Amino acid sequence: MAIKAMSSKELARKVVDKQALFILDVRNGDAFEDWKVEGKSFDYVNVPYFDLIEGVEDLLPKLPTDKEILVVCAKEGSSIMVANMLADEGFDVFYLAGGMKAWSEHLEPVKINDLHDGGALYQFVRLGKGCLSYMAISNQEAAIIDATRMEDVYIHFAKEQGATITHVFDTHLHADHISGGRAIAEKTGATYWLPPEDAEEVTFVYEPLHDQTEVKIGHSTININALHTPGHTIGSTSFVIDERYLLTGDILFIDSIGRPDLAGLADDWVQDLRESLYIRYKELSEDLIVLPAHFMIMDEVNDDGSVAKKLGTLFVENHGLNIEDEHTFRLMVTDNLPPQPNAYQEIRETNMGRISPDDEKQREMEIGPNRCAVR
């Protein structure tokens, strides 16, 4: 039997379409437990590569005969070797091209909807990392919000849509992944916007994003309105686009709320977080569609591959929005914090422009799931 490569794009389609797949992950157990390819219809077995070097005979009874089998490792090499061993035993097997590193970097564009003037809003879903970024297009101009470091994906996508990138925004100074916003602005000549409260230590020129800043895309009626919503960071800013969509950054997610401690100031920022969620958001229309900058679990992904839900629905369903007692809220936020993101301090310094790691180092810094939410 021959082995075949499965690309991250092909794997993403299986995730979105909820197709059945059996994953044999040959990384070490701690790496598998910390972070893996997730799909609602996937089954898994984790057997480290070093346990299979002398043969796969003991593994064979654990493998299905009625599902596609995908072998996964960190970079690709080990999965190819194991896949070949299984092929020699008569199995049709795939390996994940580029391994988990490639999976971590794949962006799946999903159209959210048309905008009022005939433009469109797109969400870029980074399934392997849980990051979400956005592109609003109108009158052949494009604005990008919370771009990842795979900046060429956005540049090529805008070109395919016949649009010129004119504005790039970050809702806050990210600590769990490296922003591509500044690099996109440098490559395209676009204006790069950042909340000044998060930019005291940056080394580059940016346009300060203040509360109630309004930016028009093209010459249309599509406006990006900034709403200062501190709590995850002191500068965290939400956007209302087209009077229909609320881009919440890392303040509010579909199933949780943002953590306030990535700058070491959890106790100081808890009250800001509560005021943003319980006062500023309460003043908005409940019909706004919430589009966050991250998702935590696959249950947050809709059938069309998007991550979105009405604000009014979240006021009912999201536990983090339904804690009346302020003391209880403070305890929930400060006592239920997951581990810090991998290399989060180095990521913050990279996003400040204070260090410039090479591409391979950036990949290593981002390995693992995002950890932006309160549990």
84 and 151 in a common domain = no
The pLDDT profile of the chain, 375 residues, written as one tens digit per residue, is: 679 999 999 999 999 999 999 999 999 999 999 899 999 999 999 999 999 999 999 999 999 989 999 999 999 999 999 999 999 999 999 999 999 999 999 999 999 999 887 889 999 999 999 999 999 999 999 999 999 999 999 999 999 999 999 999 999 999 889 999 999 999 999 999 999 999 999 999 999 998 888 888 876 555 678 889 888 888 999 999 988 999 999 999 999 998 886 565 667 788 899 999 999 999 999 999 999 999 998 899 999 999 999 999 999 999 999 999 999 998 888 876 777 767 888 999 999 999 999 999 998 898 888 777 776
Q: Is residue 25 part of a domain?
A: yes
Q: Is residue 132 part of a domain?
A: yes
For residue 60 the two structure tokens come to 């064979």
pLDDT at 332: 85
115 and 98 in a common domain = no
Among residues 87, 102, 117, which one ends one of the domains?
Answer: 102
Side-chain-facing half-sphere of 270: CA atoms under 13 Å: 17
41 and 17 in a common domain = yes
208 and 172 in a common domain = yes
pLDDT at 262: 59
Domain count of the chain? 2
Q: Is residue 125 part of a domain?
A: yes
140 and 118 in a common domain = yes
Q: Is residue 289 part of a domain?
A: yes
Distance (Å, whole) CA 310 – CA 260: 23
372 is annotated as an active-site residue = no
123 and 88 in a common domain = no
Among residues 37, 67, 102, which one ends one of the domains?
Answer: 102
288 and 229 in a common domain = yes
183 and 141 in a common domain = yes
Among residues 84, 102, 120, which one ends one of the domains?
Answer: 102
Q: Which segments of the chain are extended strands (E)?
A: 3-6, 21-25, 42-46, 69-72, 93-96, 108-114, 120-126, 131-138, 141-145, 164-169, 191-194, 207-208, 214-216, 223-228, 237-241, 245-249, 289-292, 309-310
Q: Is residue 372 part of a domain?
A: no
196 and 49 in a common domain = no
116 and 52 in a common domain = no
Q: Is residue 307 part of a domain?
A: yes
pLDDT at 31: 94
pLDDT at 265: 63
Check 24, 73, 93, 314 and give the catalytic one.
Answer: 73
**Left (φ > 0), alpha (ψ -120 to 50) or beta: where does 13 sit?**
alpha
165 and 57 in a common domain = no
359 and 211 in a common domain = yes
Domain range for residue 305? 107-366
Q: Is residue 373 part of a domain?
A: no
Tell me the CATH number at 114.
3.60.15.10
**For the residues of 27-94, what is the DSSP string, one character each?**
S-HHHHHH-----TTEEEEE--GGGTTT-STTTGGGS-SSS-EEEE-SSSHHHHHHHHHHHHTT--EE
